Amino acid sequence: MHAGTLSHEEFQTAKRGKPAVIVFGAIEPHGKHLPLDTDSIIPMEIVRRLEKKVGANAIFFPPVNYGYVYTLRRFPGAISLTSSTLQLVAKDIFSELCREGFTRFLIIIGHGGNTGLVKNALKELSDSHKFRAAVVEWWKLTEVEAGHADEVEASLVLAAGHALRAKPIQEKSKRYVGEIVPAPADAFTPSGYIGKVGDISREKGEKLYAEIVTKMEKMLEKDLLLEE
């Protein structure tokens, strides 16, 4: 059930006892072969499929489609909020949801740079509000290791109904111990991705969505306390 489509009276009735689900995405370069909004396309497709499973048992809110983008700013299309802005936006959103009576939040992270900031906002808010939140990076719900704009993300974009922007060519990048700041240019390929791009298919994306959505459905069934 999408909150944005409801009148305020319908919302008042529908929200009672329901968890709130919200996506934090980003506008960021994803190689030559994927669109800038890949980090929103994938989690919003997860939401679309999850809603089919749980129906009116959760309230789905409009996504935050801008995030904290750092490592790929040397490529065109990295439209970033500052870290402090994103943290404040997250804190304000969840504060308002608490005011509306929500006590359960499922947060689907589409961009890794958002994760720590969203968690920090929730930790600060938990000092003054009672709620339970699960901050979930979708790639942690699959046993397939994901890179950045690699064959995993590309397959998910295809399965979400989007076409590749170009044919990807396998390029090399380097891996470093620890997180290097500023990020070395060669930590990404010359085209701006990490990982393999040789096994991209809609079928692979469908299997990944099924795995991810099943786990999120179980999380909601377990009141966000699904054990590993």
Q: Which tens digits make up the pLDDT trace of 155-173?
A: 999 999 999 999 999 999 9
pLDDT in tens, 78-137: 999 999 999 999 999 999 999 999 999 999 999 999 999 999 999 999 999 999 999 999
CB-based contacts of 68, cutoff 8 Å, min separation 6:
26, 80, 81, 82, 83, 86, 111, 113, 114, 117
pLDDT in tens, 184-226: 989 999 999 999 999 999 999 999 999 999 999 999 999 999 9
State mean pLDDT over 142-149: 93
Q: Which two tokens stand for residue 72?
A: 């790929």
Q: Which two tokens stand for residue 31?
A: 């190689």
pLDDT at 183 over 90: no
Query: Quick one: pLDDT band at residue 19, thresholds 50, 70, 90?
Result: very high
Average pLDDT, the chain: 96
At the fourth CATH level, which superfamily is domain 3-144+209-221? Creatininase (3.40.50.10310)
Query: Quick one: pLDDT band at residue 1, thresholds 50, 70, 90?
Result: confident
Using an 8 Å Cβ cutoff, are 78 and 69 in contact? Answer: yes
Q: Quick one: what percent of the chain has pLDDT higher than 70?
A: 100
Q: How many residues would you count in the chain?
A: 228
Q: Are strands 59-60 and 104-109 parallel, antiparallel or unpaired?
A: unpaired
pTM exceeds 0.85 for this model = yes
- Give the model's pLDDT for residue 182: 87
Query: Quick one: pLDDT band at residue 142, thresholds 50, 70, 90?
Result: very high
pLDDT at 25 over 90: yes
pLDDT in tens, 35-53: 999 999 999 999 999 999 9
